[in-house]
Amino acid sequence: MLTKLCILLDKKLTFHQASLLQGVIMEKINPVYAEFLHKKERHPYSQYVFDSKWIINTLDKEAFDEIAPHFNEGDEITLKHGGQKLKITGVQIENVSIRELTEDFYTSEAKNKFAVEFLTPTAFKSQKQYVILPDIRLMAQSLMSKYAAVLENFDGADMDALNELTANTFITRHNLRSVVFPAEGQNIPGFVGNISFCCKGTATMARYWQMLLKFGEFSGVGIKTAMGMGGMKLG
């Protein structure tokens, strides 16, 4: 089960404070589960902040059960650095089952044009270098790897499918700006904004994009999605 917790706060925040909110999660959850997450290469959750909304997406039932009960309307949370106090004024929950995601792949209309908004700084890594533009191959590879790791318990992308998606997908418009994301004592270069792209491949390929992008609204895209990067939504 994919679950989006939209936590409404009494103050507006920026993405610069997102890593502090990850710290709040780590402080509140069971220490045993926190240690489990620390050892995992891919976390079963993503989170980001946008204005007065803190979004926590859990990608499996265990993550939901461990994280969600700690954040309820009326609760107060404190950011570690600076001691800023925030009150939770409401919590909205959206669920999408794996079955729904799969059924949508087989039954949905095959639209071949897509618009994506990158809500928080997004970046990819290739050959140990940051990539601060929305490269189609890296975006598809990121989403496919996250999907495989969470839903199929397999860490990696299907290279044949990735090659086919990449060869048949083209960016048609973009409105982006570069930003830096503060994390772990460094400033990570990234981008925010919008892109539109077109898939000129088969209907199956177009539906695959639809499924990956819907999943991406929960998983995030690119690097450090548990720290607040890579928040995205379909336009």
pTM: 0.94
At residue 71, the pLDDT reads 98
**Total count of domains within the chain:** 2
Last residue of a domain, one of 96, 116, 147: 96
pLDDT at residue 83, as a whole number = 87
Give residue 72's identity as a one-letter amino acid code. Answer: N
Q: Are 4 and 57 in contact (CB under 8 A)?
A: yes
Average pLDDT over residues 173-186: 94
Average pLDDT over residues 177-197: 95
Q: Which residues sit opposite 88 in a β-bridge?
A: 9
Per-residue pLDDT band at 41 (split at 50, 70, 90): confident
How far is Cα 171 from Cα 131, in angstroms, rounded to an integer?
16
Read off the tokens for 159: 């290279």
Write down the pLDDT at residue 230: 98
End residue of a domain, out of 44, 67, 96: 96
Shared domain check, 44 and 86: yes
Domain extent, residue 64, equals 2-96
pLDDT class for 235, splitting at 50, 70, 90?
A: confident
Each residue's pLDDT tens digit, 5-28:
999 999 999 999 999 999 999 999
User: What residues have CB less than 8 Å from 187, skipping those under 6 apart?
Assistant: 180, 181
Q: Answer yes or no: do 75 and 109 share one domain.
A: no
Q: Are residues 178 and 152 in the same domain?
A: yes
- 108 and 91, same domain (yes or no): no
Return the closest-CA partner of residue 117 out of 46, 59, 197, 53: 197
**Range 136-159 average pLDDT:** 85
CA–CA separation, 57 and 151 (whole Å): 15
Same domain, 88 and 201: no
83 lies in the same domain as 190: no
CA angle 173, 119, 206 (to 5 degrees): 50
My answer on whether 85 and 155 are in the same domain is no
Does 126 share its domain with 222?
yes
Note whether 222 and 62 are within 8 A (CB).
Answer: no
